[in-house]
Amino acid sequence: MQVFLRIDLNLFMAAVSVVVYFASRKIGEKRLVHNRIFRCLTLCVLALLILESLTWLLDGTGTKLLILCNYFVTVSLFLLTPLPGFLWALYVKSQLFHDEKALKNLAFFFGVPLCLCAILTLTTPLTNWMFYFDSNHIYHRGPWYPLLVAQSLVPLITSAVSVWVHRKRIPQKSAWMLTLFSVLTLLSAATQILFYGIAVIWSSIAIFILVAHTNLQNDQVFLDHLTGMFNRRQMDIHITDRVRMAKDGRPLSCILLDINNFKKVNDTLGHVAGDDALKDASAILKTSIRKGDFLARYGGDEFVILTDIDNDDTLRMLLLRIHENTRVFNQTQQRPYTIRFSAGSAVYRPETGWSEQEFIQYVDSLMYRDKAENS
C-alpha cells in the first residue's frame, strides 16, 4: 500500500511537471538561455519522478528480465540524479549575470565531476560502487553513494551562496525565490539521505519548480529585470484593455515621463551609474503613485503611469507629487547625478475615439513639448 501511495504522489507531481513544461513553452523569448535551462530542469525532474516510481515497482522482483529492467532503471535514475542541481546552478548563474561565457565556465567546473559520477554509475552493475541488490533483489546504497550525494548537493549550495553574494544584481523577490529553492531542496535531500526509505526529494523539487515558474518565469515575461516594474509587453496589454474600458465609461489617465540628460549620465559616469539612475527613478515613481495605479518602464529611460484619474486637476496633483519626491530625493541622497523628469499627461476622452496607440502618441508629444520648454 505504501509503495502505491508513493507512486500516486510521484505520478501526480509528474503531471504537474508536464503542465509546467508546456506552460513554460508558451512563455515569450523561448530562445533565452535561462528559459531553455528551466525547461530542461522540468523535463529532468519529470523523468526522475517516473524512474523512481519504476524502481519501487521493480524492487524485490525475482525474474531475470525484471532484474535486468531494475538495473537499467536504477542506473538511469543515478545518471539523472545530479542533473537538477547542476541545471539549477546554471539557471541561477543565468539570472545573475546573463553571460553565456560564465555559464560555459560553470558547466565545465561541474561537468568534470559529473562525468566521473556517470562513469562510476555505468560500471556499477559490475562493481556495486553506487548501489547493489542483495540476494532478495532488494536495492541498497553502495560505498560510493556519498559521491552522488555530493555531486547533487554542491551545486545547490554554491547557488545559494552566489545568490546571497550577488543579491543586489536582481530584484529582491527573485533573490528570495532563488535562495528558497536551493535551501528547501537541500532540506528535502537531507531528509531522504538521513532517513533511509523516505522518498521526498523529486516530488518536493516538482513543487518548487511550479512555484519558481509562477514567481520567476512568469514575472520575467511581464517585469523589467532592472527596475522590477512592468515592462513594455505588459504595458501594451494593459493599455489596450484600459482604452477599451474607458470607451465603456471607466476613467483613464496617462503620464509619460523621461529622465532628463540620461545619456549624459551614461556617457560621463558609465552604464553602471546609468542603471543606478534608472533604479532610483523607478523607486521615486513607485513611492509617488497611488495603490492601483499601473507603472511600467516604457523603454530606455521612459516610464508610463496609467491611472483611473478622471480630471486634469487631480492628474496634475499626481505629477506635482512626483516632482516633489524627485526634489527631495536629489537633496537627501548622495548621488553623482541628479534625477529630473520631463512629463506629459492627459485624461483619455472617449469622444476622441483614439486607439491606445493614438492616445500614447498624444501624451508622448506633450512630454517632448515639456522637455523642449525646460531644456
Residues 6+ apart with CB under 8 A from 299: 232
Catalytic residue among 301, 310, 364, 370: 301
Q: What is the DSSP letter of 299?
A: E
Asked if residues 55 and 19 have their Cβ atoms less than 8 Å apart, the reply is: no
Contact 68, 154 (CB under 8 A): no
Which helix (H) or strand (E) covers residue 346, if one does?
strand 341-347
Rg (Cα) of the chain, in Å, rounded? 27
Helix, strand, or coil (residue 251): coil
Tell me, yes or no, if 312 is annotated catalytic. no
Residue 161 identity (one-letter amino acid)? V
Nearest CA-CA partner of 21 in 51, 50, 47, 55: 47
The cell numbers describing 57, all together, are 515497482
Give dist(CA 304, CA 300) in Å, integer: 12
Extract the C-alpha cell encoding 11: 505520478
CA 323 to chain CA mean position, Å? 33
Q: For cell 523516505, what's the residue?
A: 198
The catalytic site residues sit at 301
